[in-house]
Structure 1
Amino acid sequence: MKKTILKISAILMLLLANLILGQNPIVPAGMYIADPEAHVWKDGKLYLYGSRDESDDHWCSYSHHVLSTSDMKKWTVTENAFASKGPNDQVPYHDELLFAPDCAYKDGTYYLYYCSPGKTKTEGVATSSSPNGPFVNGKKIKGAYQIDPAVLVDDDGQGYYYWGQGKPKVAKLKPNMIEIDSTTTVEPLDAKGNIAFHEGSSIRKIGKLYYFVFADDSRRDKPTCLGYAIGKSPMGPFEYKGVLIDNFDCDPASWNNHGSIQNFNNHWYVFYHRSTNNSQKFRKACIEPIYINKDGSINEVEMTSQGAGKPLDAKAITESEWACQLSGNVRITPLPSTDMKSEGLSAIQNGDYVAYKYLDFKKGINGFEIKATTATPLTIEIRQDSKEGNIIGTCVIEPNANYQIATTTIKNSLKGKHSLYLTFKNDNSTTNNIDWFRFY
């Protein structure tokens, strides 16, 4: 009987490891999926294709996972749907890393467009009868020798292939969907867009307009923004319109962004990534709702913790790694010495703060508790609405080598939807970790 219970527990843990609940980021602890390309296929589910970070020594990895959802709340991970090395190696001509992919569907076949560093080895395509893969028989795409492919199959069945760094390119795909017609290659962005474009092409058709989304470095010397441009033809010209989202404050080392837009159940969303671990790598996919105005423009949106869902319940546990803004040295990292794989806040120094957007502060908020460990006393100022907002509580975490639950009373808490800011005071010791917190 005991062996049966242990076996059932192991199965449940395995299932939970491949099931993710909805909030930002949408990938679980220990999994890093970046460059999210979202598509809704004929089964009505939303599928997300992206690169997978696994080391601080290099970008990305040698395999791709696929995320899928029916409700934007629970996500399923299909691991190793395609690989260039190791199990399910489907790239016979090299063993290079796999950068950002895209996926397209035509006539019963799903086409995974992949890319790798290495001049003439860079871009290719594999196929599957399922949106989850496995994708097989990787073949080179001749004539496209940079990175970050994107594909649009227009209403008439004609396919278009987008790629490039520095300046984007587009060409028509031949009917077999695995070759481009190099004679049709053009640069589709206007002059202003070319200045903003860094890499990371993505393409969607909305009504009669074509939306070109890309990694945008117009605000600073690194592409932390997703920018977009609009055109009346899939070949352009696309007129640059501005920024969709900026992930600059997600992590001390945040460097790039890459993503897409997609309609799901009559709502539009922007899919992007945020850095963690004080690294340019270890990026995690996130989602925010967007609204398309009558003139076709899209207002810039902010990063949130709630993502595509409702504000987080203040009385439920909020995982500390759901912070959508980090200031100072504080970072999101794997946590040591917890009873299961988890991530949280660490390396906190005096004056650092983090923000959570948004929480629903329901009636009867009287207290606050937090699970943490610290080598020296750590004081947390709890504020609503801004980093200078009204302090509704102050929690002191005493030194302890093991995790402890610290509590404090809450006064004058505003009800309803509010952002939460936690400001830290200590002696600049960085030996500290915060796992989660909640109000009660």
Structure 2
Amino acid sequence: MLKPLIAATLLATTALAGAANPLTSRIFTADPAALVDNGRVYLYVGHDEAPVGGKDYVMNEWKVFSSCDMQHWTEHPAGVPFSTFKWAARDAWASDVTKRNGKYYLYVTVEHKTIPGKAIGVAVSDSPTGPFVDARGTALITNDMTHETEISWDDIDPAIFVDDDGQAYLYWGNTVMKYAKLKANMTELDGPIHTVGLDQFTEASYLHKHAGKYYLSYSRKWPEETVYMTGPTATGPWSYGGVIMEKNTNVGTIHHAIIDFNGKSYIIYHNGKLPTGGDYRRSVAIEELHYGPNGKILPVPQTEQGPAANPSAACKR
């Protein structure tokens, strides 16, 4: 019988085998969001629970993983169920995360109970691993706030970006990309919703900054490929940069996040390479990302081995 302290430790976290893609083969995971904090990378991923041969997404929670070296990952037990949002009917679709003023804000896609269509909510926690609670008690974005398309899933895939001057921006959308400023409290819009015309935009917009340049990446076409644009500000104007990652072989989507960690850059994405994997049984994977001359992002191939170990000082703590 395990001693109580050892048993409690095993229940608290699950250490996963590292040094290979995908991140975990224990469960199916998708739509990664990433946060670098205090020498660790935290990943927030949707949990694909569809059965073999399933024809729709079954996603009820976001799982949380972390690593100090980009190879060995710990699964944190609490996760974030969609029922965190009492106004949500179902679904734990794509999310994004940021830290501000010592708190962690998780922006998520769910189905609204009373307003038809997908909606975006925001949860907050004092810890990157939770517990997270609904920061508003209501949705931040609902389908009746935007009218560019007739589809009910055009308000999905939130991407949060806080600029150097402290201004926060929320990007989201399917078919049409939208963005809005957020107030400093991170839970209210600060002004109107804007739309951006992007070439063959599908979904999964993501904004990051590197060496003084803004990069807007997104999923284009169907099946999706990951492409990027660059600009002088967080709102453009945007110039096309190129393809970052080619489409998956057996999955239509390829949702991504891009981070800098311990002196290197990474792209985190999903594919369907686990046995029985596919559109509704996806797996999150990670690759190192490189910039070429003039800040051009070089194309990234998918690999089985993933990135080399990159231990931060947090690994010694």
1:123 aligns with 2:120: yes
Alpha-carbon deviation of 1:40? 0.8
Pairing 1:25-424 to 2, within 5 Å after superposition = 25-29=22-26, 31-41=27-37, 43-55=38-50, 56-85=54-83, 90-118=84-112, 119=116, 122-139=119-136, 140-142=139-141, 143=145, 146-183=155-192, 185-189=193-197, 194-217=198-221, 221-223=222-224, 225-249=225-249, 253-275=250-272, 276=274, 277-309=276-308
Pair 1:11–1:228, CA change in 2 (3 A): same
Pair 1:79–1:60, CA change in 2 (3 A): farther
SS in 2 for 1:99: strand
Matching residue of 1:415: none
Contact 2:39-2:68 at 8 Å conserved across structures:
yes
- Which structure has more relative contact order (CA 8 Å, sep 6+)? It is 2
Matching residue of 2:313: none
SS in 2 for 1:236: coil
Matching residue of 2:315: none
Pairing 1:11-30 to 2, within 5 Å after superposition = 17-29=14-26
Alpha-carbon deviation of 1:28? 3.0
Contact 2:88-2:111 at 8 Å conserved across structures:
no
Alpha-carbon deviation of 1:165? 0.5
Contact 1:63-1:80 at 8 Å conserved across structures:
no
- Cα-to-partner distance string for 1:403-424 (whole Å, 9 max, x where unaligned): xxxxxxxxxxxxxxxxxxxxxx
SS in 1 for 2:296: coil
**C-alpha distance in structure 1 between counterparts of 2:132 and 2:245, whole Å:** 31
SS in 1 for 2:202: strand
**C-alpha distance in structure 2 between counterparts of 1:37 and 1:131, whole Å:** 12
Alpha-carbon deviation of 1:187? 2.5
Alpha-carbon deviation of 1:102? 0.3
Structure 2, unaligned stretches of length 5 or more? 147-153, 310-317
Matching residue of 2:312: none
The alignment's TM-score, normalised by the length of structure 2, stands at 0.83
Pair 1:136–1:14, CA change in 2 (3 A): closer
Pair 1:4–1:104, CA change in 2 (3 A): closer
Number of equivalent positions: 289
Residue type of the partner of 2:167? Q
**C-alpha distance in structure 2 between counterparts of 1:201 and 1:208, whole Å:** 19
The alignment's TM-score, normalised by the length of structure 1, stands at 0.61
Residue type of the partner of 2:80? F
Contact 2:109-2:157 at 8 Å conserved across structures:
yes
Structure 1, unaligned stretches of length 5 or more? 311-440
Pair 1:80–1:8, CA change in 2 (3 A): closer
- Cα-to-partner distance string for 1:137-194 (whole Å, 9 max, x where unaligned): 25310447610000001111110000000121111111211111342x32345xxxx2
**C-alpha distance in structure 1 between counterparts of 2:13 and 2:129, whole Å:** 18
Alignment RMSD (CA, Å) = 2.4
SS in 2 for 1:210: strand
**C-alpha distance in structure 2 between counterparts of 1:80 and 1:121, whole Å:** 24
Residue type of the partner of 1:215? S
Contact 2:42-2:64 at 8 Å conserved across structures:
yes
Contact 1:102-1:151 at 8 Å conserved across structures:
yes
Residue type of the partner of 2:209? K
**C-alpha distance in structure 1 between counterparts of 2:58 and 2:294, whole Å:** 37
Contact 2:40-2:68 at 8 Å conserved across structures:
yes
